[in-house]
Amino acid sequence: MTAQGVASQTGSGPEPPNTPLNQGRPHSARMYDYFLGGKDNYVADREAAAKVLTLWPGVMIAARTNRAWMHRAIRFLAAERGIRQFLDIGTGIPTRPNLHEVAQGITPDARVVYVDNDPIVLAHAQALLKSSPEGRTAYVHGDITEPGNILASPDLTEVLDLSRPVALSLVSLLHFVPDEWGPYEIVQQLVDALAPGSFLVLSHITPDFDPEATQKTVQVYRSGGIAGQIRTRDEVERFFTGLELAEPGLEVPHRWRTDLAETDSQVETGDVTDEEVSFWAGVAQKL
């Protein structure tokens, strides 16, 4: 799939996709929507998700903990580091609050570009384009494996000024990019395009806490035609090479800056186990 800009907040908005939605095959974005309690998924997605649940009962907790961590990371960047521009690749199906709602709740002039390659995400992209009057959002239909096309999209360059700091969000994405696709080189190309002072926001499934459950989960995804590779702490940390990790460093998401939580829910306060979550997460700055 080639990446191309589709719509910006000031335009007419994206049209429904002409490409098939592949309802008969599971898709990672729709399975994630199911784990988050969403309704934008099909029978194939729910069947694959049910298989995952039998192997990794904590996967719903993991998905919601990861989502809550993303919200805290964005609050940290907007409130404490003054970031006003965000590039979110692997956006997934809109789930409120979306990234721009979190950022613009702190800094109404924040600008956000969302990127995803799933036609169903495109079909729901209007929910991602409801920016505050002071800010701006855009949606680019693109693929993480083609970073050059994403960066060159007119809809991205109209909204984001890459000569100024940008927060690059790769949340719960890179475990769908196996080593043979060059994930480290992809991330490096994206980071190289950002100005000093930019940040990388990244979370990734790991086998470090429950290797049997997470390894078998990857096999479920692969059997449904979804590429996947889980990585150890050292392998995840490699994505941050040359960057300065913000405190508390690379951490399980449920213990990363829980002081920034806005609720007292289980996933926000860290009252979950490492085995249930099985993720590493971090935020790092390009100096």
Whether 26 maps to a domain, the answer reads no
106 burial type by CB count under 10 A (0-12 exposed, 13-18 middle, 19+ buried): middle
Q: Give the model's pLDDT for residue 7.
A: 32
Number of domains in the chain: 1
State pLDDT tens for residues 39-57.
Answer: 888 888 899 889 989 999 8
Give how far Cα 210 sits from Cα of 49, 59, 60, 213, 279, Å.
18, 12, 15, 6, 10
The more confidently predicted of residues 22 and 184 is: 184
Judged against a pLDDT cut of 90, whether residue 211 lies above it is answered with yes
What's the Rg (C-alpha) of the chain? 17
The secondary structure element, H or E, covering residue 140 is strand 136-141
Identify whether the C-beta of residue 217 lies closer than 8 Å to the C-beta of residue 56. yes
Give how far Cα 149 sits from Cα of 162, 184, 187, Å.
15, 17, 14
Q: Give the model's pLDDT for residue 13.
A: 36
Whether 150 maps to a domain, the answer reads yes
Judged against a pLDDT cut of 80, whether residue 11 lies above it is answered with no
**What's the start-to-end Cα distance of the chain, in Å?**
33
Judged against a pLDDT cut of 50, whether residue 82 lies above it is answered with yes
Quote the percentage of the chain above a pLDDT of 70: 92
Judged against a pLDDT cut of 80, whether residue 127 lies above it is answered with no
Whether 23 maps to a domain, the answer reads no
Q: Which domain holds residue 110?
A: 55-262+269-286
| Beta-sheet pairing, 136-141 with 111-116 | parallel
Q: How confident is the model at residue 17 (pLDDT cuts 50, 70, 90)?
A: very low
Q: Give the model's pLDDT for residue 22.
A: 61
- Tell me the mean pLDDT in the region 16-38: 72
Task: Identify the CATH number of the domain in which residue 114 sits.
Answer: 3.40.50.150
b/e map 165-200, b = 16+ CB within 10 Å: bbbbbbbbbbbbbeeeeebeebbeebbebbeeebbb
Whether 103 maps to a domain, the answer reads yes
Whether 93 maps to a domain, the answer reads yes
The more confidently predicted of residues 25 and 273 is: 273
- Give the residue carrying structure tokens 């043979």: 180
Whether 3 maps to a domain, the answer reads no
Whether 164 maps to a domain, the answer reads yes
- Give the residue carrying structure tokens 């399980």: 252
